[in-house]
Amino acid sequence: MRANPRPLSKREIRQENERLILEAAEKTFAEAGFGGATMQLIADVAGLPKANLHYYFPTKESLYRRVVQDIFQVWLQAADVFDGADGPEEGLGAYIDAKMEISRRHPAGSKVWASEVMHRAPVIQDYLETTLKEWTNGRMAVIQRWIDEGKMDAVNPRHLLYMLWATTQHYADFGHQIETLNGGEPYSDADWAEAKASVKHIILTGIGVGQDNA
């Protein structure tokens, strides 16, 4: 049996347990939905007693809210690559790469978000109306500027954004279907590269942006 190197401080204990709970909650909410996930199941996944969950998060809804908020922050951060780009090939290309990478690394988060929105966003409606709306308007303006500068075709910026979201998140939200159609095998590095390249090629070509496909 191993020696205990150092007792955790109160601060460390709180950080560590919150992390354990949030990870377990994200995974469980993604797999079972809000209604299907039980506090007992989340507790089992986290390896903690159920009562301990209620110590850190008073209600199931408060835990869920925190999970959804964290996901939203990840997505907002990923959109930074959008800004400061010289044109659509760089900006949109990097954005597609970033969102595909999130779908690959954090599929559970994407599913929780999708589920939340599908159920009419009972918890994050205010985010949709404020932060997301402002973010969307800002990026639409960037795209419109690129159009005005003749850097891409005059497509509807809003529907272009929707297509980017839909396509990239599809690889997370419908990952199980994709895996099944791949003979039950998870996507390999090569599969992901092919997916990224295909998405970028069709969309960038679709808006009149040339590509050097290596």
Partner DNA sequence: TCGGTTCCTGACCGTATGGTCAGGAATAGA
Partner DNA sequence: TCTATTCCTGACCATACGGTCAGGAACCGA
Burial class for 97, CB neighbours closer than 10 Å (0-12, 13-18, 19+)? middle
Give the one residue of 3, 5, 10, 210 binding DNA; rule: CB under 7 A. 10
Are 154 and 147 spatial neighbours (Cβ–Cβ below 8 Å)?
Answer: yes
Amino acid at 95: Y
* Residue number with CB closer to a second copy (15 or 211): 211
Residues 1-60 that bind a second copy (CB under 8 A): 30-37
Q: Which of 95-98's residues contact partners 24+ apart within 8 Å by CB, and which partners?
A: 95/164, 96/164, 96/168, 96/196, 96/199, 96/200, 96/203, 97/196, 97/200
Q: What's the 3-state SS for 13-50? A: HHHHHHHHHHHHHHHHHHHHHHHHCCHHHHHHHHCCCH
Determine if 187 is a binding residue for a second copy (CB under 8 A).
Answer: no
Determine if 201 is a binding residue for a second copy (CB under 8 A).
Answer: yes
Determine if 144 is a binding residue for a second copy (CB under 8 A).
Answer: no
- Would you give the binding string for DNA spanning residues 46-75, x where CB under 7 A is met? --xxxxx-xx--xxxx--------------
DSSP of 173-193:
HTHHHHHHHTTTPPP-HHHHH
Give the one residue of 23, 31, 33, 39 binding DNA; rule: CB under 7 A. 39
Least Cβ distance, residue 3 to a second copy (angstroms): 41
Least Cβ distance, residue 72 to DNA (angstroms): 22
Q: Of the listed pieces 9-17, 56-64, 85-93, 113-121, which binds a second copy according to CB under 8 A? A: 113-121
Return residues touching a second copy (CB under 8 A): 30-37, 111, 114-115, 117-121, 125, 128-129, 132-133, 136, 153, 155-156, 158-160, 162-163, 165-167, 169-171, 173-174, 176-178, 180-181, 194-195, 198-199, 201-208
